[in-house]
Amino acid sequence: MEPIWARIDGGFWHAYQTLVRERVLPHQWKAMNDEIPGAPKSNSLQNFRIAAGLARGSHEGMVFQDSDLAKWLEAVGYVLMGDSEGAPAVREHAREAVDLIAAAQQPDGYVNTFFTARQPGRRWTNLRDAHELYCSGHLIEAGVSMFRGAGDGKLLAVVRRLADQIDATFGVEEGKIRGYPGHEEVELALIKLYRLTGEQRYLQRARYFIDERGRNPNFFESEAKAPGFVSIFGAKPLDYYQAHLPVREQREATGHAVRAMYLYTAMADLVLETGDPSLREACDRLWESTTGRKMYVTGGIGSSAVRESFGADFDLPNDTAYAETCAAIGLFFFASRMVRIHHEARYADVMERCLYNGILSGISLDGESYFYVNPLEVVPAVCDRNGTYQSVKYRRQPWYGCACCPPNVARLLASLGEYVYHLQGDTLYADLYHEGILSAELGGLPVTVRQKTGYPRSDSITFEIEPASTAEFTLALRIPAWCRKPALALNGSAAKAAAGADGYTRVRRIWRKSDRLQLTLPMTAARIYADPRVRADYGKAAIQRGPLIYCLEEVDNGPALFRVRLPSNAPLAVEERPDLLGGIPTITATGKSPPPGSSGDGLYSERNSDLPLVDRPLLFIPYYAWANRAPGEMLVWVRE
């Protein structure tokens, strides 16, 4: 099932995609070439040169450094889709990168700079730690994207040979390694390659990796006992790798959050391809665990910095949050598959929650600095001085020694056109509102569907339907859960807008040229409450308007944000601020706070020196836009 693509050509996301093409990809190319003064070294390109025999030296950086370049190339493929003559400098860099990867490929198809340059005899001997299959997966995704977007078959040929080598190496058949990766990724990549090429072996190998995972005796335990096994990151509990149980028996999202998401995404992809009911049930359970009990209001997941992992149900601390950018991207992927399985808007609601909040916070407005960790509460002095907060940064960084997130944001933003619609039979589901155009076959005829909207800054979306001639099909429009009173007009006349049980409002008709459908999703600034089992949010509210979660920043509101109280009846006013942070709707309110600089009768006393409270004007900005001005405190959940 190949995805359908819309070209995003205006509005909020087009600006980000332009940023990716013009600023992000060139910046990241420099970073991967170690050309950004003061930033941690990447060595990504240099490692490929060394592995290809084109440079001398030793492999440097993380064992999975190849994947940064792969994700960057994948992003390039999306950028060039429908614009294969654009971005000449980026195309030239991409050509250089593809040539290097091809040159570093071994005669049997194997590609991995760490093992090729450093430990050629030790390939595939540490699946638990060494990330070879993970890097291979990202290379495969890059090959698919570069072929689709740029029509470049060179990398596709490389990654097919790589996939063939993997297929020949792993499996239950005699003489093969009966293992699976410590960091999932190759599974979903092989399914992508299968979808592009139609080659069943790739689908079967993905299914093998999924089915084999977590069986008894445990592969990682056996592998670690092999003579000469060399640990890289040390043994961790098996649920860290989601290898504690066969995947169909897993009921709770556990361990490393990114790994979990890439696995669940692949499982859902396999359901889409095979319909496997027990696998679908596992996906449903893991979805409920992830999004019903372990997700931040921003769509961030993985609450613990220690092992970048899920915690217990409802353990969602705001100031020590990990909420890795990659994990929110992974949840977006998982959600995008779930909506295609179930055709229920609530899955796309999560895509939207992740995208506008926990993913977009991972990149600065200028595209050249990044967050790996996305806290919901920050006090800089505490982060500077208390090692418990050592992962939490309050300034985005130009690069990271472990730089998985920056190119992951780039590829996700560049690929958004793949996720805005999905198709089931002759029903076209509009999942993410955007300005752009889709060309698809609907009701047996070529149709273009154009969306025009300033969403999420404005609340109105116009659909212009242009069938080649008249065509009967259904347009299903997602009514976000946050929207109480949607309105719909067909060619100027009001139509039924209420969503069905699946969260979509449907318009089925014989569409004619120039049909116009106008959807209005009134956005009111609202208080959001967490389930009272969430300790960190208890007695607090978050502010949301449309898909955007808001926050307070010190630069607007002064320090000691933890003392702000927002009375439950304080009006929330929306105020457009074209001057601020690229033009954003802000939300203002009058809160309460003790006077600034108030202090106690000593550190502890019987007098509550907090009182009396005085009015405090508050300015909320969208969470994704924080940390683009003077560094300071930030707070999402405000006490009520």
Cα 228 to the chain's mean position, in Å?
A: 37
First-residue to last-residue Cα distance in the chain? 48
Question: Residue 359, Cβ neighbours under 10 Å: how many?
Answer: 29
- In the complex with its own copies, the residue whose CB is nearer, 215 or 639, is 639
- Which of 132, 223, 308, 352 is flagged as catalytic? 308
Min dist. Cβ of residue 637 to its own copies (A) = 11
Bond prior to 107 in cis (omega within 30° of 0) = no
Min dist. Cβ of residue 612 to its own copies (A) = 12
Min dist. Cβ of residue 347 to its own copies (A) = 14
3-state SS, one letter per residue, for 282-344? HHHHHHHHHHHHCECCCCCECCECHHHECCCCCCCCCCCCCCCHHHHHHHHHHHHHHHHHHCC
- Which of 283, 404, 405, 551 is flagged as catalytic? 404
Give, as one character, the DSSP assignment of residue 607.
S
Bond prior to 612 in cis (omega within 30° of 0) = yes
- In the complex with its own copies, the residue whose CB is nearer, 36 or 560, is 560
Asked if residues 210 and 266 have their Cβ atoms less than 8 Å apart, the reply is yes
Min dist. Cβ of residue 295 to its own copies (A) = 6
- Decide if 404 is catalytic: yes
- Decide if 464 is catalytic: no
Min dist. Cβ of residue 523 to its own copies (A) = 13
Q: Which residue has the tokens 């970048």?
A: 308
- In the complex with its own copies, the residue whose CB is nearer, 10 or 559, is 559
The torsion angles phi and psi of 543, rounded to 5 degrees, stand at -105, 130
Residues in contact with its own copies by CB under 8 A are 291-293, 295, 297, 303-307, 309-313, 315, 317, 320, 379, 381-382, 384-388, 390, 526-535, 538-539, 541-542, 560, 562-563, 568, 594, 598-600, 602-610, 639-640
Min dist. Cβ of residue 235 to its own copies (A) = 15
Q: Collapsing DSSP states into helix, strand and coil, what is residue 432?
A: coil
- In the complex with its own copies, the residue whose CB is nearer, 225 or 385, is 385
d(CA 636, CA 640): 12
- In the complex with its own copies, the residue whose CB is nearer, 346 or 629, is 346
Phi-psi region of 60 (alpha: psi -120 to 50; beta: other; left: phi over 0): beta
Q: Collapsing DSSP states into helix, strand and coil, what is residue 418?
A: helix
- In the complex with its own copies, the residue whose CB is nearer, 31 or 392, is 392
DSSP-assigned letters across all residues of 364-403 = -TTSS-B-SS--SEE-HHHHHH-GGGTT--SS-BS--SS-
Q: What's the angle, vertex CA 555, arms to CA 358 and CA 324, rounded to 5?
A: 20
- In the complex with its own copies, the residue whose CB is nearer, 381 or 402, is 381
Min dist. Cβ of residue 544 to its own copies (A) = 8
- Using CB atoms within 10 Å of the CB of residue 206, give its burial: 0 to 12 exposed, 13 to 18 middle, 19+ buried: buried
Sheet harboring 471-478: ordered strands across? Answer: 421-424, 427-430, 471-478, 504-511
List residues with catalytic annotation.
308, 404
